Amino acid sequence: MSKQETYNIPYIGLKREVHTFNYQLDGKFFKKDEYSLIQDGKVDVKLIFDKSNTPYILDFDIRGIIQTNCDRCTTAIDIPIQGNYKVYVKFDQNAEDIEDEDMEILFLHPENPVIDIETYLYDFPLLSIPYSKVCEDVGLTCDPEFLKYIQRENEEKLKETENIPDPRWAELNKLKDLK
Ligand SMILES: [Zn+2]
């Protein structure tokens, strides 16, 4: 099934009432972006589309488990995510030109027959990832070898910065050498 068929809501043909859609997202979905913070997972999205009033409302309920990396030791860990996000659909003749910085509002051209929600299905699980995500959060212990390695790296970096002379002095020294 192509992207268009899967994640588009053909709202025009729907009755003026509340509709529910369910999506199951897996690793394949998130890995479409190779730099994705989510490497694997199973996320259920319940989308309640309220067409009974204007603006229409898209209400996303996100629940699932995703695989991402520990902030401290980079081990792959499974963490639960949960979130709820609302998007208001507004119609505008110039929808294409409107920079939608605000994720809460979706500007749609009145002649566009579908609402494409794929970006939301991708972004909302990302936004639901807890701010801190370390092994301890899911009852694991960070990889001690990796922590040692990181510590060594940091110490070396510190040494390097200590040895770098102040660039202003370096310039002055250059002038001195010229004389
Ligand atoms: Zn860890």
Q: What is the pLDDT of residues 104-141, one digit of tens each?
A: 999 999 999 999 999 999 999 999 999 899 999 999 99
3-state secondary structure 63-124: EEEEEEECCCCCCEEEEEEEEEEEEEEEECCCHHHCCCCCCCEEEECCCCCCEECHHHHHHH
Instruction: Please give the pLDDT value at position 163.
Output: 73
The span from the CA of 120 to the CA of 49, in Å, is 13
Instruction: Please give the pLDDT value at position 179.
Output: 56
DSSP state of 173: H
Q: What is the mean pLDDT of residues 161-174?
A: 72
As to burial, measured by CB atoms within 10 angstroms (0-12 exposed, 13-18 middle, 19+ buried), residue 49 is: buried
Find where tokens 């040494």 sit: 159
Q: What is the pLDDT of residues 21-42, one digit of tens each?
A: 999 999 999 988 888 889 899 9
- d(CA 129, ligand 1 centre) in Å: 16
The span from the CA of 97 to the CA of 26, in Å, is 32
Q: Which residue has the higher pLDDT, 161 or 71?
A: 71
Instruction: Please give the pLDDT value at position 18.
Output: 97
- d(CA 102, ligand 1 centre) in Å: 34
* pLDDT tops 80 at residue 165: no
- Domain spans in the chain, listed from the N-terminal domain onward: 3-134, 143-179
- d(CA 82, ligand 1 centre) in Å: 21
* pLDDT tops 60 at residue 82: yes
Q: Is the pTM of this model over 0.85?
A: no
- d(CA 45, ligand 1 centre) in Å: 28
Instruction: Please give the pLDDT value at position 2.
Output: 44
Instruction: Please give the pLDDT value at position 6.
Output: 78
CB-based neighbours (< 5 A) of ligand 1, an ion: 70, 72-73, 75, 135, 142
* pLDDT tops 60 at residue 17: yes
pLDDT category at 100 given cuts 50, 70, 90 is: low
* pLDDT tops 60 at residue 1: no
- d(CA 138, ligand 1 centre) in Å: 10
